[in-house]
Amino acid sequence: MRYKDCFDKERRDFLKVVKHAGISAGLIKASSLLAGVMLARTAEAQSGTPTKHCLVFSGGGCHPDKWFPSGSTLPVQSAQLQSHYSRIALLRNASLSGAGHGVMFHRFNNGSWSEDSFDVNLGRTIGANYPVRYLNVGTTAESALSREGFNGKPIITSPQAALDILFSGGSGGGSSSGSTTPRKSVVDLHYTAISSLRTKLGQHEKDKLDSHFTAIREIEDALDTGTNPGGSCPQPPSTAVTGFDALSKLHTDIVALALECNLTASVSIAFGTDAHTHFLDVLGRESHQSHHNQGNMPLAYTEDIAYMQGLTKNLFDKFNAKGLLSSTIVTQVSDMGDADSHGNSNVPMLVAGAGITGGRVIDIGGRTQSELYQTLGLKLRADQSPNGAAYRSWATSTISGL
């Protein structure tokens, strides 16, 4: 049975149970948490099967000899990723359709001004039945990285704004559906109907109902108290952070939360922009300072790239701790190869997580982000998803070996 057929059958079967319980479609739509838990895919139970995606922008490029390993030990610019290398495939000889400054629309796209970026298209396809279609967060204001058709979707730099979208059933990209924030009464309102229904169901259906509503109760309790007494999806205790480093890490927490709680299947996170004007507070300098002054600052550029990969390591740490790497593909792209020349060759890209054989370097022979997105879109079965007709074809060829 095709992926779409399997998904539709499972969803229909469970929604029949929900209907018999007297739970209205309006209530499900009113609570992103309720919908997220109740519409979680059975495909996620299949170990190693990718059903979600996280797209990462990490600016600055690399020096290939300091990025790609000759053996099993990662060199200085990618060394921060060593603890996760067994999950990571590094892509050698990767190119960009546009490299350098001021062309952020090429990072998650192929330069099109009229078609979806990859994160948005996955939101339309594999994320079509999730409460939030996609979530695009980042550290630095940027309007062209993600696109929904002809419309640019500004990066959400405010952690609180991102949480408001997730927990009010918003559509992603900075807009909200206007739904109400979920309250503890979601379960209580239907307790009588649920109890009555349980006497009419077989044991399998009882177990499924109990599991879903217990999870909802735990999530609501955690949100209500600001702690985590057994639930797995509490919001961060505070969104009041300052500085590039702290903001990067808080947004990482938020995208992990979004995926773990089944609020979305497609997230993106941008550490800086290709303008490189973001101030790296941990290093005490603007990102761009090290790129064209490598003669006078021979170590600074490597420090910058190693620091940026430390942010990606933090993301892998969080995903691994939550078990997300068994269901989620993580893709990282950059904005250039060598930063001094703004080159579009040897651009550091990587893929990791569900369905990816890690611990290796794959030579992709100059292929661009377009072939990468086509390969991953098909691996995620976006063309067979509930809204597969909306899948965008990115290239005529794919990258073998992924």
Half-sphere exposure of 399 (CA within 13 A, CB side): 31
User: Distance between CA atoms of 216 and 228, rounded to whole angstroms?
Assistant: 13
Which of 157, 147, 162 is closest to 278 using CA atoms?
157
- Pairing status of strand 266-271 against strand 349-353: unpaired
Tokens of 116: 């979806």
Establish if 339 belongs to a structural domain.
Answer: yes
Tokens of 372: 């990468």
Tokens of 197: 């229904």
Establish if 41 belongs to a structural domain.
Answer: no
Establish if 234 belongs to a structural domain.
Answer: no
- Pairing status of strand 146-148 against strand 151-153: antiparallel
User: Distance between CA atoms of 255 and 49, rounded to whole angstroms?
Assistant: 19
Establish if 69 belongs to a structural domain.
Answer: yes
Establish if 342 belongs to a structural domain.
Answer: yes
Establish if 4 belongs to a structural domain.
Answer: no
Establish if 172 belongs to a structural domain.
Answer: yes
User: Distance between CA atoms of 109 and 97, rounded to whole angstroms?
Assistant: 9
- Pairing status of strand 146-148 against strand 279-280: unpaired
Establish if 235 belongs to a structural domain.
Answer: no
Per-residue pLDDT of the chain (402 residues; tens, 9 = 90+): 555 555 555 556 555 555 554 555 555 555 555 555 554 433 443 345 799 999 999 999 999 999 999 899 999 999 999 999 999 999 999 999 887 787 888 899 998 999 999 999 999 999 998 999 999 999 999 999 999 999 999 999 999 999 999 987 555 553 333 333 333 344 555 556 666 666 767 777 777 777 766 766 665 555 444 433 334 577 788 888 999 999 999 999 999 999 999 999 999 999 999 989 999 999 999 998 887 766 667 789 999 999 999 999 999 999 999 999 999 999 999 998 877 777 778 899 999 999 999 999 999 999 999 999 999 999 999 999 889 999 999 999 999 988
Specify whether the CB–CB gap between 371 and 364 falls below 8 A: yes
- Confidence at residue 367, expressed as pLDDT on a 0 to 100 scale: 95
Specify whether the CB–CB gap between 136 and 153 falls below 8 A: yes
User: Distance between CA atoms of 395 and 363, rounded to whole angstroms?
Assistant: 18
**What CATH number is given to the structural domain containing 56?**
3.40.720.10
Host domain of residue 369? 49-179+241-390
Q: State how many domains the chain has.
A: 1
- Confidence at residue 229, expressed as pLDDT on a 0 to 100 scale: 33
How many angstroms separate the Cα of 285 from the Cα of each of 62, 181, 304?
Answer: 18, 40, 9
- Confidence at residue 292, expressed as pLDDT on a 0 to 100 scale: 72
